[in-house]
Amino acid sequence: MRRLFYDRIDAGRRLGRILARQPWVEPVVLGLPRGGVPVAAEVAQALGAPLDVVVARKIGAPGRQEFGVGAVTAEGPPYYSMSALRAFGLTPKAMEPACSRERAEARRRLAAYRDGRPPVAVAGHDVLVIDDGLATGVTAMAAVRDLRDARRVVLAVPVCAPDAVAEFEGEVDQFIAVAAPRRFSAVGHWYVDFTQVSDATVVRLLGKE
């Protein structure tokens, strides 16, 4: 399998070149921590736009925490994949304790990442939500649904599953991907270097703005 990107910086620069071809109204770039932030930093530089984060936490199935049945942000409504809930015999009501835990963690991380800096205003702006790739999309869905005050909401990623565009139809104003391979596998498979991004790196990148 041919790798598409060397690392997240390479992916962000390539995505940034694509996005810079379009006209934007007072763009704001929001990275999904942690892996989306290095990509978003390159996009923000390409657009000359401010950089911030939108933190969405995956809500895992009981006993299968790695399998996200939904996600929630610090303040917005939770998003659940109804097909995933049905597969595990779950309901949104049953997931409320897990949702509350993940919302609290989202708030804690958001405060830590901003390190005392105020949030970047999104009302009336074109807001570009950036991640390093999109597989199931539950965290990205929670993130974009938390941005109803934005003028336009755009979800942009270097690589995504081929059916991702349909998943976000009606949820975002525009979906942009550098590549959507037919034989999609885990996001990391498309990078040569997919080293885990640290919290310290996120704070450092945001502090440059």
pLDDT of residue 183: 86
On whether both 47 and 137 belong to a single domain, the answer is yes
Tens digit of each residue's pLDDT (9 = 90 or more) over 56-86:
999 998 888 878 899 999 998 999 999 999 9
Q: How many domains does the chain have?
A: 2
On whether both 138 and 188 belong to a single domain, the answer is yes
Residue 1 lies in a domain: no
On whether both 127 and 41 belong to a single domain, the answer is yes
Tens digit of each residue's pLDDT (9 = 90 or more) over 137-172:
899 999 999 998 999 999 999 999 888 888 899 999
Residue 119 lies in a domain: yes
On whether both 137 and 76 belong to a single domain, the answer is no
On whether both 130 and 191 belong to a single domain, the answer is yes
% of the chain residues with pLDDT over 90: 81
pLDDT of residue 2: 75
On whether both 118 and 42 belong to a single domain, the answer is yes
Q: What is the span of the domain harbouring residue 169?
A: 8-53+114-207
pLDDT of residue 184: 87
The pLDDT confidence band at residue 209, using thresholds 50, 70 and 90, is low
CA–CA–CA angle 182, 174, 22 (5° rounding)? 105
Q: What is the CATH number of the domain that holds 78?
A: 3.30.1310
On whether both 37 and 120 belong to a single domain, the answer is yes
On whether both 154 and 198 belong to a single domain, the answer is yes
pLDDT of residue 166: 85
On whether both 95 and 132 belong to a single domain, the answer is no
Residue 147 lies in a domain: yes
On whether both 122 and 198 belong to a single domain, the answer is yes
On whether both 37 and 139 belong to a single domain, the answer is yes
% of the chain residues with pLDDT over 70: 99
On whether both 141 and 175 belong to a single domain, the answer is yes
Q: What is the CATH number of the domain that holds 31?
A: 3.40.50.2020
Tens digit of each residue's pLDDT (9 = 90 or more) over 91-111:
999 999 999 999 999 999 999
- Alpha carbon separation from 96 to 61, 83, 88 (Å, rounded): 12, 17, 15
pTM for this entry: 0.94
